[in-house]
Structure 1
Amino acid sequence: MKTVAETLTAHRSIRQFKADKIPQDVIDEVLQEAIMGTSSSGNLNSYSMIMTRDPARKQRLYELHGEQDFILQAPLVITFCADWYRTRQWLQLRGARDNFNNFLGYQVAANEAMLISQSVTLGFEARGYGICYMGTTLQAMQDIADYLDLPETCLPITTIVVGVPAERPDRRERLPMRAYVHDEIYQEPGPSDLEELYGAREETGWQRYMSMPHLRAMCEEGGITSLAQMYTSPYKYDPDAYAATSLRVLEALRGRGFLPSGLDLTQPDE
């Protein structure tokens, strides 16, 4: 088994998988280690993990996640949920005051769902399995919650697919460490800092896009001439789509009891 350092430095997002199943004892071992080794606020462990292996149910998740083929290839899909339902039922059983059905509760549980997801990811990768995170979880939050029969104050936060890799992609570049690490207080980057920090990333990232015929055609059609433009184009992280998705996420929070039912999500506060 790989060490933590070896696992981190070898990480790749895998999008092609072999059909090999993951033994149940391996899944149980990874999950138990992650649960025991992941920090939690008040040791309340405000998360749940939904395992999906059934082909028919994976088909529906495939549809909800924008029809990404690796969902059908991978033998296991795990949906990580911010979950206060279990804890709130326990509070009620013991005659305690209700809590956590509020936005702060959501923030705590969402953070814990991400923490446990990374621990699970490291556990599988240390054993030679590949994973890929799916940001589409937030875009389809309400529909996924309905499909998985999630109760009140329980919402999906992120999803991973797990399996034996059928590819070994190149490692994606990161910015220099000084872009992320600040000494004592936040150091705002100036134009020259940004040129230095993003120069190599812009060159290699743009070359990668241009090396793929379908992406190159999209950029040429849309008049996109730089990596930054691609990131906020209709083909990637469209600001208009982000605004619409943000409202859907807020509606999901309200529908699952994390926001007051009378809150107007379309109008700013006066």
Structure 2
Amino acid sequence: MIDTILNHRSIRKYTSEKISKETLEEILNAGMRASTTGNMQVYSVVVTEDDDNKAQLAPCHFNQPMIKNAPVVLTFCADYNRFNKWCELSNAKPGYDNFLSFVTGAIDALLAAQNVCVAAESKGLGICYLGTTIYTADKIIEVLKLPKGVVPVTTVTIGYPDESPELADRLPLEGIVHYEEYKDYSDEDIKDLYQEKEQLPENIGFVKENGKESLAQVFTDVRYKKQDNVAFSKVLLDVLKSQGFMNHED
């Protein structure tokens, strides 16, 4: 299991080989065994295998090729629709129309997603997370016909790998882990922690091809710009309101 985790690679190219129903269900069952708040399982997974349906999803993910190329696309959603209905049928009044409840459902969904990914990789499959899900949650809701109380939080493509990319770089352990209490970083700490990342040939190439002075500027000025973050935040907040997660009254 640890070897599987340590050798994780994001796979964006897949062979034409289909995933059997038995293998897919085994992977999804592994997802269902993930930790969940209060054992409520306030999440759902939408499986997309049909080519026409994948074509409808593709624009929601900026037409990244792996949406159409992967045999299976999984959309993980925070989902109180099912749990609220169970409560109401049981003469219990649900109080989950608030931001905290959305966060709880999103955490549950992401925990299940990671279980699914590790299980898939242990079977020789490749996976790739798509962060675009929360950028275009409104459009995904339309395509997947998600009812009130359901919000997509991440998407994972799964298939047999048709590429073998190098392991992605990661910060050293001491850059991430704090013992007993948070130890803030000095300027020298930051320089040391990011030095290896900045000196990788591919990252030097990113800086050059984008006409920037530093790798950090590639992130702030090109890949994850403030104006985009603000625009996508508005979309997500509007989705949370329309899907019933922003009622903060008593």
- TM-score w.r.t. length of structure 1: 0.89
In structure 2, which of residues 197, 214, 221 is the aligned counterpart of residue 226 of structure 1?
A: 214
Q: Percent identity?
A: 34
Structure 1 residues 147 and 122: CA distance shift in structure 2, 3 A: same
Distance 2:120 2:54 in 1: 20
In structure 2, which of residues 2, 12, 15 is the aligned counterpart of residue 5 of structure 1?
A: 2
Distance 2:248 2:91 in 1: 25
Distance 2:5 2:14 in 1: 20
CA contact (8 A) 1:52 1:58 kept: yes
2:53 corresponding residue in structure 1: 57
CA contact (8 A) 2:133 2:153 kept: yes
Unaligned runs of 5+ in 1: 263-270
Matched AA of 1:88: N
CA contact (8 A) 1:21 1:75 kept: yes
Deviations 1:222-245 (A, max 9, x none): xx1211000111x30011110111
Q: In the comparison of the two structures, how many residue pairs are matched?
A: 249
Distance 1:142 1:8 in 2: 32
What are the within-5 Å matches in structure 2 for residues 126-145 of structure 1? 126-145=122-141
Distance 1:171 1:162 in 2: 18
Distance 1:261 1:252 in 2: 16
1:86 corresponding residue in structure 2: 82
> Does 2:243 align with 1:250?
no
Q: SS of 1:258's equivalent?
A: coil
CA contact (8 A) 1:254 1:261 kept: no
Q: SS of 2:133's equivalent?
A: helix
> Does 2:199 align with 1:165?
no
Matched AA of 1:227: L
Distance 1:191 1:21 in 2: 50
Matched AA of 2:218: M
Unaligned runs of 5+ in 2: none
Q: SS of 2:74's equivalent?
A: strand
What are the within-5 Å matches in structure 2 for residues 1-270 of structure 1? 4-35=1-32, 37-204=33-200, 207-211=201-205, 216-217=208-209, 219-220=210-211, 224-233=212-221, 235-260=222-247
Distance 2:151 2:2 in 1: 32
Q: SS of 1:110's equivalent?
A: helix
How well do the aligned residues superpose, as a CA RMSD in angstroms? 1.5
CA contact (8 A) 2:36 2:108 kept: yes
CA contact (8 A) 2:57 2:140 kept: yes
CA contact (8 A) 1:83 1:109 kept: yes
Distance 1:216 1:49 in 2: 40
- TM-score w.r.t. length of structure 2: 0.96
Distance 1:44 1:59 in 2: 33
CA contact (8 A) 1:255 1:261 kept: no
Deviations 1:100-129 (A, max 9, x none): 111111010000010000000001000000
Deviation at 1:32, TM superposition (A): 1.2
1:268 corresponding residue in structure 2: none
Deviations 1:5-39 (A, max 9, x none): 1110110001111111000000011111221x211
Q: SS of 2:110's equivalent?
A: helix
Q: SS of 1:184's equivalent?
A: coil
Distance 2:150 2:12 in 1: 28
